[in-house]
Structure 1
Amino acid sequence: MQNRRETLRQSLAVAGLLGATGLFPQYALAFNKTAFDAKSIADALKAYGASAPVESKDVTLTAPEIAENGAVVPVAAASSLAGVKSILLLVEKNPNALSAKFDVTDAVEPNFATRVKMGQTSDVYAVAITADGKAHYAKKEVKVTLGGCGG
């Protein structure tokens, strides 16, 4: 039976090997730091290689008209477009526009729900990016009565 000290020693050895080869787990994740650090919607879409977005009835956004608490605003996005590869949720007046990104495959229905944090009343966008790089969106204004981003 392995004790705690031996387990810790082996863990440190594995971490050392990963560090030496530059293969830390955070680098293996599909995380686009540029997109999540983007201050505007256009910059976030540019980071994912999407074209200029066009409004579409094939993308739906469900969000409350008035959010009593900006720290937990429920939103849902769905798309009936063919070939959707990702769905983005963006909040225009947040310090960082991109709130969530969902990857879609053929085995996944492009229908997602989550909660986002909003600092103030703002337009919320659901953007569906297709395999050919086209971006389609739906938007809705959500009024926030109690700020969630430090407000």
Structure 2
Amino acid sequence: MLRTHRIVALLATAAALGGLAELAMLRHWDGIQLVPWFVLGLTAVVGVVRALGSGRLLAWITGGIGLVGSLVGVYQHAAGNLALGPHLIDGWDSMSTAEQWWAAFSGTIAANPALAPGLLGLAGALLLVSTVRED
């Protein structure tokens, strides 16, 4: 295993630990909000295992779960914002669908940060990169 693979695996662990800290600060632990806790915790542990030189398949699977989880999280946050739009923005019904989605993603509706789950995707991508063969 190359030194760069170890470093990338440790970066995945650092990103996952940062994500866990952010979730704790946001008190993100009601029901389905526990899913990113599990995935980030798993990513942190698997990143260390990978940095120690083993767990290639486990890192590949966990990284993929992180990427998919990130996409689902971005959608969940944006859809949550979209549902709140009529209650928080005057003239919501006169906006086009594209304008409503833009408002949901851009922070105009500040209830759920739409891109926050991207940190999970970053950790997953780094874990995947740590599995690339060096042949």
Q: Please report the TM-score for the alignment, with normalisation by the length of structure 2.
A: 0.23
Q: Which structure is larger by alpha-carbon Rg, 1 or 2?
A: 1
When you count strand as a share of all residues, which structure comes out higher?
1
When you count helix as a share of all residues, which structure comes out higher?
2
Higher relative contact order (CA 8 A, sep 6+): 2
Q: Please report the TM-score for the alignment, with normalisation by the length of structure 1.
A: 0.21
